[in-house]
Structure 1
Amino acid sequence: MLQAPRGRAGAALWRRAVAVRTMAGASGRARLFDVRSREEAAAGTIPGALNIPVSELESALQMEPAAFQALYSAEKPKLEDEHLIFFCQMGKRGLQAMQLARSLGYTGARNYAGAYREWLEKKG
């Protein structure tokens, strides 16, 4: 399975992802999904990330687009979106989220293996 690389390459990926983030989710642009709990995300997250706790992810990705928009105030990702990047605190839930998204047909799902912890260390 492809995962976002760790270390310098991982940090570079995140800089690019954040630079091209879009709430519209246009194909070819990265969308960031923080799959930690609401409390964890409220304490700090990567700018532009949409928080959907991993416990809600399966139902969220199966919602009708209008219901997703109403609940998350964002456009639902499309199956053909190329860069759906999931992350958590340490990497385990992000990997779980990526695998779940792929099982639902989101072939562009990726996991940032370094997770929020690495991003936080690198951003300073």
Structure 2
Amino acid sequence: MSHAKCRPANSEKEAISLEDLKALLGESQSLLLVDVRSKEEVDKGCIPGSIHIPVDSVESALALDPAEFKAKYGVTKPPLDAPDLVFHCHMGKRGKVATDKALEMGFQNARNYAGGYQEWSKKEGK
């Protein structure tokens, strides 16, 4: 009886570091990086390659059928087993809320970039 696919609810796997995110941005063809900040925040700057879905829209966005998701966000909707689905906000809290929601919906590899845009802009900034 194998439990290899089971993992604790608050596993370290749910968070991703700046270094890991940079590596994914450079090499993953399947990465979907979702910025869950407000439109006003995103207008001031964003992580290149991210798509914007405000935190209060994450559940409804992930519930869309693939054609509606593609039409609305311009990218392919991630499958439930998408290997690289990462959420982020400014400092980590809303990203965690979005990650938890995605995990509840069955997106088993959803992760939060806890450093958020604040860390990104400080270390990778303009």
Q: Give the TM-score of the pair, scaled to structure 1.
A: 0.85
Question: Could you tell me which residue of structure 1 aligns to residue 80 of structure 2?
Answer: 79
Given that 1:11 and 1:122 are in contact with CA atoms closer than 8 Å, whether structure 2 keeps it comes out as: no
Question: Could you tell me which residue of structure 2 aligns to residue 13 of structure 1?
Answer: 20
CA distance in 1, matches of 2:28, 2:47: 11
Q: By how many angstroms is 1:44 displaced?
A: 0.6
CA distance in 2, matches of 1:79, 1:46: 24
> What CA RMSD, in Å, does the superposition of the two structures yield over aligned residues?
1.4
Q: By how many angstroms is 1:38 displaced?
A: 1.6
Q: Deviations over 1:12-50 (max 9, x none)?
A: 11211221354xxxxxx3221101112211211110001
Stretches of structure 2 that go unaligned for 5 or more consecutive residues are: 1-9
Within 5 A, what are the aligned runs for 1:1-124? 1=10, 2-5=13-16, 10-22=17-29, 29-124=30-125
Q: By how many angstroms is 1:11 displaced?
A: 2.2
Please tell me whether Structure 1 or Structure 2 has the larger radius of gyration of its CA atoms.
Answer: 2
Counterpart AA for 1:12? E
Q: Give the TM-score of the pair, scaled to structure 2.
A: 0.84
Q: Deviations over 1:100-122 (max 9, x none)?
A: 00000000100011111111111
CA distance in 1, matches of 2:99, 2:44: 23
CA distance in 2, matches of 1:18, 1:95: 20
CA distance in 1, matches of 2:117, 2:14: 14
Percent identity between matched residues is 43
Q: By how many angstroms is 1:67 displaced?
A: 0.6
4+ aligned runs moved over 2 Å, structure 1: 1-5
Stretches of structure 1 that go unaligned for 5 or more consecutive residues are: 23-28
CA distance in 2, matches of 1:21, 1:93: 24
The count of corresponding residues between Structure 1 and Structure 2 is 114
